[in-house]
Amino acid sequence: MGKILVAYATNTGTTADVARKIGEELEKSGDQVDVVALTQIDSIDTYEAVIIGAPMIMGWHREAVGFLKKHQQTLSQVPVALFMMAMSLTRTGETSLDGIPITIDEKLPQSPKVEGRLSFKEHYATVRNYLRPVLKTAPSVKPISVGFFGGRLDIYRLKWWQALFVMAIIQTQPGEKRNWEAICAWAGCLSSTLHDNWTG
């Protein structure tokens, strides 16, 4: 049994719900889990594992990237997992990046229009393009798992420039894409992996 932190950033609340759900799943294994907004966290020294979740908002949410950078020393010494909420992901068949296992909600990705030749928008929305800059931020942190899940887009909750970006670059329809089954399955696997590591 361990003490786990599920830390999240959010723009309109979607990721907070998902972080809470992941926390509930992890608690089923008897672990103590704290689910906390990144802005409320000072120290992470007391945790044996840390899960960080945030939406893609013109790159992974900047609070999450900043957190990774700030705490990279501590995060390089405990198991870390990341999850990313997105409305658009291009199917590329990748299941790992730099040796890090990637789990993708199967309902999220869309196949490129022309196989092997990605458009600008399709290239933008690849796992590689989303994740690489995040990993570069804290090179000493090697996540044990990264999950990509469908999010929720409510255009009426956005600032005008956010709505403009989403319409011009992401070109995605507003709506609910959260797949709770995929999210719980990932959290369940994560729990097993953590327990395997803890029991040696």
Ligand X SMILES: Cc1cc2nc3c(=O)[nH]c(=O)nc-3n(C[C@H](O)[C@H](O)[C@H](O)COP(=O)(O)O)c2cc1C
CB-CB neighbours of 57 under 10 Å = 21
Q: Which is nearer to ligand X, 26 or 84 (CB)?
A: 84
Smallest gap from Cβ 3 to ligand X, in A, equals 25
CB of 4 within 8 A of CB of 44?
no
Residues at the interface with ligand X (CB under 6 A): 10-15, 55-58, 85-88, 125, 151-153, 158, 162, 165-166, 170
Find the residue with minimal CB distance to ligand X: 151
Smallest gap from Cβ 96 to ligand X, in A, equals 20
Smallest gap from Cβ 70 to ligand X, in A, equals 20
The shares of helix, strand and coil residues in the chain, as percent rounded to the nearest 5, are 40, 25, 35
Spatial distance between the Cα atoms of 134 and 146, rounded to a whole number of angstroms: 11
What are the C-alpha distances in Å from 137 to residues 74, 131, 153?
Answer: 14, 10, 27
Smallest gap from Cβ 26 to ligand X, in A, equals 19
Q: Which is nearer to ligand X, 72 or 165 (CB)?
A: 165
Q: Which is nearer to ligand X, 1 or 167 (CB)?
A: 167
